[in-house]
Structure 1
Amino acid sequence: MTVDIQTDASLLVRGVSPVLAVPFTESGEVDYGGFDRVVRYVLSTGVTSMMFPGFASEFHKLSEDERWHLTEILLSQTRNRPDVAAVIAVQDHATRLAAHRARAAVDAGADLINLLPPHFLSPSRRALVQHIEAVLESVAPVPVVLQYAPAETGTVLDADVLGQIQAKHPNLRLVKVESSPPGPLIAELAARTPPLLAVEGYAGVQLPDAVRRGAVGTQPGCSVTEVYVEIWRRLTSPDPVQVESGFDLHRRLLPYISYWMLDTERIIAAEKLISVRRGLFVSAYCREPAHRLDAEEIRMIERFLADFTDLLPHLG
């Protein structure tokens, strides 16, 4: 699919939009060559957008220099491609810093901004809205994805507040809904006039329900992008037989992701080991504090790779 990304890059954030992992060396340094391979691998799966940095990228464990160097590696592969959108995430708690980072990312070639509202010291609803609107204004008319992750942040927003923001700032184009379950909010947003479209995250645990309720995309981690692409293809097929096979494929995946998503550090560690076993990069190291996979969790990953060998070729 090709669109004028200067007009509406959010059209490219459809289907599967992976969040990129950051590989480290065994000594804890950023593996920039490994990250370059991550970007190329994700592009090879046929997706039309990808996001960086998110929770799956261990964004909170990166220095400013590391973060910008990694961002440049991503943008160097996307800024001249009209068929692919780079979604660059902003998680700063200070409004001034968030607006500055968002504008700098756009100036560097970002196609969209993903905004995680501030949550440190529990800002008021009014302060949250002011923060969101300031960032939207700083990058207008570039489209923005607002990330709503109440379990990780404690932030509380609702469809009415989000709709009011959209009415003032039409470059709020998507909401990434990571509430549990995401479906009710996705449906409320889709029913508004005009609709506010949503993508879901949280590793796709509730993906079939999200699709039924109007989600236009999913943003999982990137280690098994092919699996999510195939699930999405089937679930959104006009053929009921294909849709049912999409439910079946998701049911194969669910025992694994529902366990890994018991906490964020666990799924980061699991996805990194999967990436190493697939030959994507060398080390499964996670910067401390991190979850350490035990022997049974490692055996679980081995079972997962055996169960999905039909969709997950070795990448070495």
Structure 2
Amino acid sequence: MTDAAELIRGVSPVLEVPFHDDGSLDEPGFARVVDHVLGCGVSSVMFPGYASEFLKLTSDERDRLNTVLLDRTRSRDDVAAVVAVQDHATRLAADHARRLVDAGADAVNLLPPYQLGPSVRDIHEHVETVAAAVPETPIVVQYAPEQTGTALDAASIAAIAAERPNVRMVKVESTPPGPFIADLARQDPVLPAMVGYAGVQLPDALRRGAVGVQPGCSFTELYVDVWELYAAGDEKAAFDLHRQFLPYISYWMLGSELIVAAEKLISQRRGLFRSAYCRAPAHRLDAEEVAMVDRFLAEFADRLPDLS
């Protein structure tokens, strides 16, 4: 059996969720997103995350979309579905993780609790309890202090991994991510890191030991091109390509809602789904931001084909 943790390397996109213009869920559109991203040569995908507007989905919608995803990955040994557990209550999170694994999730992305200021001890117990609930399933701990203020450090995550060896990886979204990634690599056990935050700091993260990137999914092909060049040993070409689209992602990552809106417009412009609607509260792209998306698509037209 393929080790799912080994598949969660390289480019592991976070799937976006399309809605109709009236705000209702576009389930067929999501199915097209899944099919397209899996067809881009990645070996894993993650859902739901901030790029999926997970805070704006009902429990039923998440379940339905998880089913769409897992129906496409359950029988495959070449791709891993990393399904997120974001419940605040430890008991709910553990139960949720069990249900996801029973449904076919290959790995669990665990966002530790952060609302109402949980103690460091409570956060550690939360991660340990969820990992113990699915002991045969890889756990990716999401470290996103800018969004959550979560009180974790590399040594404490490694201590949890020593007790729960299925804690296999960390998604790092600190700013900058590089020092934390390097710190994870110095721990015992060593914890591989994926860099998030749209891969703005990808070159530095890779030089410090990151094993991949977990961006949004509207231009997965660009990240795959960067990764393939880097994996082939052509670091200069890889980082030159990254530098070419860095001004765009640097601007869009000035706000989580901003990059969600920009990526959805990119996917809509490419013909992946009909509407770029984001559920409120949301960032509304102004005329210059829409023009920026169109310049981006024109600049990378040779790498980002029309999907309609």
For Structure 1 versus Structure 2, the TM-score category normalised by the shorter chain is over 0.9
* Residue identity matched to 2:295: R
1:66-111 deviation per Cα after TM superposition (whole angstroms, max 9, x unaligned): 1000000000000000101000001111111111111100000000
* Residue identity matched to 1:186: I
Asked if 1:249 is matched to 2:244, the reply is no
Distance (whole Å) between structure 2 residues aligned to residue 248 and residue 11 of structure 1: 27
User: What is the aligned counterpart of 2:91 among 54, 73, 96?
Assistant: 96
Q: RMSD between aligned alpha carbons?
A: 0.8
Deviation at 1:236, TM superposition (A): 2.8
Distance (whole Å) between structure 2 residues aligned to residue 272 and residue 99 of structure 1: 32
User: What is the aligned counterpart of 1:282 among 274, 286, 294?
Assistant: 274
Distance (whole Å) between structure 1 residues aligned to residue 153 and residue 57 of structure 2: 31
User: What is the aligned counterpart of 2:297 among 287, 305, 313?
Assistant: 305
Deviation at 1:192, TM superposition (A): 2.2
Distance (whole Å) between structure 2 residues aligned to residue 124 and residue 178 of structure 1: 21
Aligned equivalent of 1:270: 262
Contact preservation (8 Å) 2:218, 2:267: yes
* Residue identity matched to 2:305: P
Contact preservation (8 Å) 1:208, 1:235: no
Deviation at 1:114, TM superposition (A): 0.2
Aligned equivalent of 2:283: 291
Aligned equivalent of 2:144: 149
* Residue identity matched to 1:33: P
Deviation at 1:194, TM superposition (A): 2.8
Asked if 1:82 is matched to 2:77, the reply is yes
Distance (whole Å) between structure 1 residues aligned to residue 300 and residue 68 of structure 2: 30
Aligned equivalent of 1:20: 15
Distance (whole Å) between structure 1 residues aligned to residue 280 and residue 266 of structure 2: 19
Contact preservation (8 Å) 1:177, 1:185: yes
TM-score (norm 2): 0.99
Deviation at 1:217, TM superposition (A): 1.1
Distance (whole Å) between structure 1 residues aligned to residue 151 and residue 243 of structure 2: 30
Distance (whole Å) between structure 2 residues aligned to residue 88 and residue 169 of structure 1: 19
Deviation at 1:245, TM superposition (A): 1.0
* Residue identity matched to 2:34: V
Give the aligned length. 308
Contact preservation (8 Å) 2:261, 2:276: yes
Deviation at 1:237, TM superposition (A): 2.5
Task: Give unpaired runs (5+ residues) of structure 1.
Answer: none
Contact preservation (8 Å) 1:20, 1:57: yes
Aligned equivalent of 1:61: 56
Distance (whole Å) between structure 2 residues aligned to residue 122 and residue 237 of structure 1: 44
Asked if 1:233 is matched to 2:228, the reply is yes
Task: Give unpaired runs (5+ residues) of structure 2.
Answer: none
Distance (whole Å) between structure 1 residues aligned to residue 115 and residue 187 of structure 2: 30
Distance (whole Å) between structure 2 residues aligned to residue 236 and residue 77 of structure 1: 27
Contact preservation (8 Å) 2:140, 2:169: yes
Deviation at 1:172, TM superposition (A): 0.3
Distance (whole Å) between structure 2 residues aligned to residue 119 and residue 193 of structure 1: 26
Question: What is the SS of the residue equivalent to 1:146?
Answer: strand
Distance (whole Å) between structure 1 residues aligned to residue 230 and residue 186 of structure 2: 21
Aligned equivalent of 2:176: 181
TM-score (norm 1): 0.96
Aligned equivalent of 1:216: 211
Deviation at 1:310, TM superposition (A): 1.5
Deviation at 1:232, TM superposition (A): 1.2
Question: What is the SS of the residue equivalent to 2:160?
Answer: helix
Contact preservation (8 Å) 2:140, 2:170: yes
* Residue identity matched to 2:177: P
Contact preservation (8 Å) 1:24, 1:285: yes
Contact preservation (8 Å) 1:211, 1:235: no
Deviation at 1:235, TM superposition (A): 2.3
* Residue identity matched to 2:271: G
Contact preservation (8 Å) 1:112, 1:142: yes
Deviation at 1:188, TM superposition (A): 1.3
Distance (whole Å) between structure 2 residues aligned to residue 106 and residue 219 of structure 1: 21
1:18-68 deviation per Cα after TM superposition (whole angstroms, max 9, x unaligned): 000000000001100000000000011010000000000000100111100
User: What is the aligned counterpart of 1:112 among 93, 107, 114?
Assistant: 107
